[in-house]
Chain A
Amino acid sequence: MVQASAVEIRKVNKFYGPFQALKDIDLSIPPGKVTCLIGPSGSGKSTLLRCINFLEPYESGKILIDGQMIGYDAPGKPMSGRRLRDMRRSIGMVFQQFNLWPHMTAQQNVAEGLIRVRGLRKPDAEERAAEALRKVGMADKMGNHPARLSGGQQQRVAIARAIAMEPRLMLFDEPTSALDPELVGEVLGVMKTLASEGMTMVVVTHEMGFAAHVADQVAFLEGGELVAVDTPSTILHHPRDARIRAFLRTYHERNAF
């Protein structure tokens, strides 16, 4: 294990006012691998994910992206907006609520970042956007506005918007939780393809099937603490910690009928 981590999280603490949402989190995200974050509601999964691209500032500890600390030049010394934006360019993010821009077509949504952030000329950006949309199987709906797309289609456009920026790392926050069950598959399919192409991915998910089959490592959080990090089979099939067993029991009960 000499290979450097894509993301190195060291002793990270995060507070919302007096409430501590993350407690001394230590986690290494290996490059080219899929890491799933699981845990009960309110355990801090989204918070941790959002700290990785500094959408949520953390108070202490370090998060290194390819060896470079995000958010701070040195502990306690916030980095400039420009440097933060430069770092964010290489980190894609996909949200539970898709968060497409409703006043733009699918293609415009994807091209926007290429034009305004990467500085591409409009025709080039549109071409690249079309390419990214083809990749997620949305080539035929490029001209649709989000209001005229299903949830699954919107989420695939959102993924295209992220990958068009050619990120080195992709963050997913429950990308299928807002979808009708029959639409979950198409989004997970796109994510599996990405994973097989060697994209480094951090995925907050309640899809234990996805975690079991696609993840290379699974991290379990509870109450702001990282309880365990291990292979999917250890966490999901042979958990040593009672908290994980309790979580999986509730999960199986909820999904049995």
Chain B
Amino acid sequence: MDFGVLQQYGPLLLRGFATTVFCWLVGTLLGMALGLLIALAQRYGGRPLRWILQAYIEVIRGTPFLVQLFVLYYGGPLIGLRLDAVPAGLLGLTIYGSPYFAEIFRSGFTAVPVGQIEAARAIGMAEPVVIRRILLPLGLVSALPALVNFSIILTKETVILSIITVPELMYQVSRMSTETFRYLEANLVLALFFWGLVEAISRLGRRLERRITKHLVERV
């Protein structure tokens, strides 16, 4: 083992990690937003819309992320969608995560007791207000653990972005490996970075969960 090379490649690896975190964060947030829209449209939309969205969910969930990225990055230009590596990666992550997030939100909404929604309707509350004030906050609470969990899974999907030359951590690690033949060291660094990221996210998630469920649990 020779960690001397790390000094030389340190800045590069750090930049790669920053790109990884950036891609993960933006892709996850956009994927969540799209997933939320899909879940709401499935709940309130008409039958044709629901059918189309269900088909979308099945297709995206049924194909590997790698294939989706290839289609987007190399197939996109054929239909006039020419994206740089990073935007393509972000769009890819957004699309890839959206059906999973949609399903998580859908089951979160299902967990909200119907009676609490009826209570809002019974006083004459308009449906958009019911969504904003009752369905979303309560649905989010029950969806939170699954949201955090899937966000953690997504951190590791970002390595696939290296295939389309997004200069994230995996990309830089590969570069370092081929240039120095220090495969073991390079991949150890990779593992350490990801472990740290995942640990940070799950801690944050647990703290968030404690905070928002503080009032919801029976006298403890």
On A, residues with C-beta under 8 Å from B are 53, 55, 81-82, 85-89, 91-93, 95, 97, 99-103, 105, 112-113, 116-117, 145, 147-148, 158, 161-162, 165
Contact = CB atoms under 8 A, between A and B. Distances in A.
A113 B138 contact: no
Contact of B124 (A89, A95, A103, A145): A89
B122 A93 contact: yes
A97 B115 contact: yes
Contacts of B217: 147
Contact of A145 (B121, B123, B215): B215
Interface string B110-129: 00010110111111111101
A254 to B, nearest CB: 26
Contacts of B125: 85, 113, 116-117
B113 to A, nearest CB: 7
Contacts of A93: 119, 122-123
B83 interface: no
B123 A89 contact: yes
Nearest to B137: A103
B126 A85 contact: yes
Contacts of B138: 101-103
7 contacts: A85-B124, A92-B122, A93-B123, A116-B129, A117-B123, A117-B129, A161-B123
Nearest to A56: B118
Interface in B155-199: none
Q: Interface range on chain B: under 10, 10 to 19, 20 to 34, or 35 or more?
A: 20 to 34
B130 to A, nearest CB: 9
Interface in B78-130: 113, 115-116, 118-127, 129
Given A53-B122, A81-B126, A116-B125, A99 B116 contact: yes
B119 to A, nearest CB: 4
B216 A147 contact: yes
A88 B134 contact: no
B148 interface: no
A162 B123 contact: yes
Given A95-B115, A99-B119, A103-B137, 17 more contacts: A82-B126, A85-B126, A91-B122, A93-B123, A97-B115, A99-B115, A102-B116, A103-B216, A113-B123, A116-B125, A117-B129, A147-B217, A147-B218, A148-B219, A158-B119, A161-B119, A162-B123
A37 B53 CA distance: 44
B113 A113 contact: no
Nearest to B127: A81
A176 to B, nearest CB: 16
